Structure 1
Amino acid sequence: MLEVAVKAGDAKRAEDIVALDVEQVSLVADYFAIMNGGSKRQVQAITQAVLDAESEAGVTVRRVEGKAEGTWVLLDFGDIVVHIFQEEQRHYYDLEKLWSDAPMVNLTDWLGETA
């Protein structure tokens, strides 16, 4: 599920994609994927791409919050929670700092080449 979400976000040009292994520090999920887009429209496109890719992989979304607003979208797939922000909101909420006890997941093999 995490790989599917990361690749779908990357395909829609999500920026600064990271994943945190929160299994040992949170009861909410095993992983958080965090990424951002440059505008409301891009955040919504990334959101739809992740939803479509997970659906194709047979994963059911449990909850979607914030899609209409397009500033911070939360996609709950059970074992993973995907956060898609506009850059300003991402810096404001700073989930990476909030969950700093959680180790980062190496996503190198899942992300495309940057120019």
Structure 2
Amino acid sequence: MDGPPPARVAELEEAVARAWEPFAAGKYSMQMAERLAAPFQAQLDTLRAEYAPARTAPVAPDLSAHAAHFALALSAELDMSQKRRLMTAVNARFYIGPDGLERLTVDLPTLG
């Protein structure tokens, strides 16, 4: 669906504008103009909502296999070169303060 039918949108927008014309001319109160415009505005809002893109909540990834793979990599016997490659692969960031390590963050790579 691309969007609501332009002719119907224009028709409803024109009806809303016409409902406000007596108010602009000083013939009706604002409340009266709102009451006259309300049904057309409601139809317009409903029409636009029907054609609005569906918003779905992002699906949370299943990280258990990811974590198991990472744990396996950490438990293996690694030489210094392999440890460096692993820390680079997980984008390890060490936050050092005056009292030593304060925080460590890692970004696990996507498993293919």
Normalized against structure 1, the TM-score is what?
0.23
**TM-score (normalizing by structure 2):** 0.24
Structure having the higher helix fraction is: 2
Higher Cα radius of gyration = 2
